[in-house]
Chain A
Amino acid sequence: MSKLQINLNGEVVELNSNNLSDLVVHKAPKDRPFAIEINGIIVPSSDFDNFKLTNNDRIEIITAVGGG
């Protein structure tokens, strides 16, 4: 397939796969919980395996940071 262009955490990124699960393997943290939002909608982790990305998707990978 041709490369996919998405916006990941505010930056343009090219992907070889349209599987969200592949993106998770390469771009998400492995040692802590995270959440994924695509085009403003939260994707539950149970949907990662079946979710297909499309061109220009805006993807946020979000995790925890210290705060008051």
Chain B
Amino acid sequence: MTESKLSQQLAADSLEIGTQVYSSRLIVGTGKYPSEDIAEKAINFSGAELVTLALKRFDKGESSENILRPIGNKNLLPNTAGVLTADEAIRSAHISKELFKTNLLKLEIISSAANLDPNMEETLKAARSLSKEDFEIYVYCDRDIDNCKKLEDMGCVAIMPLGSSIGSGRGFDNLIDLEKLRSQISQVLIVDAGLGVPSEASTVMEMGYDAVLVNSAIAQAKDPTRMAESFKKGVEAGRLAYLAGRIPVSDKAKASSPTSFLK
């Protein structure tokens, strides 16, 4: 297959999440970039069509940086970052809908400001409530199968277990759990949080994950633009490998050349 045919195959392999269709399987965050210009370049090089962003009080005295400028015309996925309870998340969701004129929502309820892992009790409560409205919920969650199934049953359009702690760059705390989840969850599955390098994105894409969400690993890299492009390629490589189908893992050697000489 020629390179252009491979590109065509990837382009045709669209990702449907709720009412949206994407050709890119990399979602990027917009926090922690050194500057708006670097954010703009990195977001463009990532090829992402969906980007996350957050809410804050407007402070007239603060810098005039406007995160919406580097995002351009990408689809917005506002998050509920910083909230600790279902009530706060629901409030954040309604503000986001008014502010960004979108019903896409990344539901994210952390355990505490120091422990950014998801608070699942509050997450389930918020998802139950918000799913009765017209939100398309992308939910940040733990790797527990029962929790993920509940979120799937509530109609969340994307289930997003963490790879490891937010911003840690540690990759995976438990790859086996992520693999088990893929076999049990039929809804869109996205690894969110903790990825550090593109090979980790490839690994979960090879397992059949639908997409990955990356922020810190790109924004805080020495060269965010290059890292954005590397994640783009890592995600594409992993997806292609998944579609190609890996060979069965064997504990025995299996020769790919003749096993005896000139016979």
Contact = CB atoms under 8 A, between A and B. Distances in A.
B68 A67 contact: no
Nearest to A33: B99
Given A32-B66, A61-B57, A62-B58, A68 B95 contact: no
Interface stretch (B4-12, B16-24, B27-35, B178-186): B27-35
A7 to B, nearest CB: 12
Interface string B46-82: 0000001111111110001011100000000011010
For the complex, would chain B's binding face be called helix, strand, loop or mixed by DSSP majority? mixed
Given A29-B58, A64-B67, A67-B81, A34 B99 contact: yes
Interface of A: 9-10, 27-29, 31-35, 37, 40, 42, 44-45, 60-68
A10 B29 CA distance: 27
A20 B139 CA distance: 35
A67 B52 contact: yes
B156 interface: no
Nearest to B64: A31
A42 B101 CA distance: 13
A38 B89 CA distance: 17
A33 B100 contact: yes
A64 B100 contact: yes
B150 interface: no
Given A34-B99, A60-B57, A66-B32, A42 B66 contact: no
A64 B57 contact: no
Q: How large is the interface on B (under 10, 10 to 19, 20 to 34, 35 or more residues)?
A: 35 or more
A27 B60 contact: yes
14 contacts: A9-B57, A32-B68, A33-B100, A35-B99, A62-B58, A64-B56, A64-B67, A65-B53, A66-B30, A66-B33, A66-B53, A66-B219, A68-B31, A68-B216
Q: By CB atoms of chain A within 10 A, which of B29, B55, B79, B216 has the most?
A: B55
A33 B39 CA distance: 19
Interface of B: 29-33, 39, 52-60, 64, 66-68, 78-79, 81, 91, 94-95, 98-100, 166-167, 193, 213, 215-216, 219
Contacts of B68: 32-33, 64
A10 B53 contact: no
B79 A64 contact: no
A60 B213 CA distance: 30
A65 B59 CA distance: 11
B52 A10 contact: no
Contact of B213 (A29, A62, A68): A68
Given A33-B99, A35-B98, A64 B54 contact: yes
A61 B58 contact: yes
In this complex, the member of B68, B81, B99, B216 whose beta carbon has the largest number of chain A beta carbons within 10 angstroms is B99
Question: What are the nearest 10 A-B pairs in CB distance?
Answer: A67-B54, A68-B29, A68-B215, A66-B30, A35-B99, A66-B31, A65-B56, A63-B58, A9-B57, A61-B58
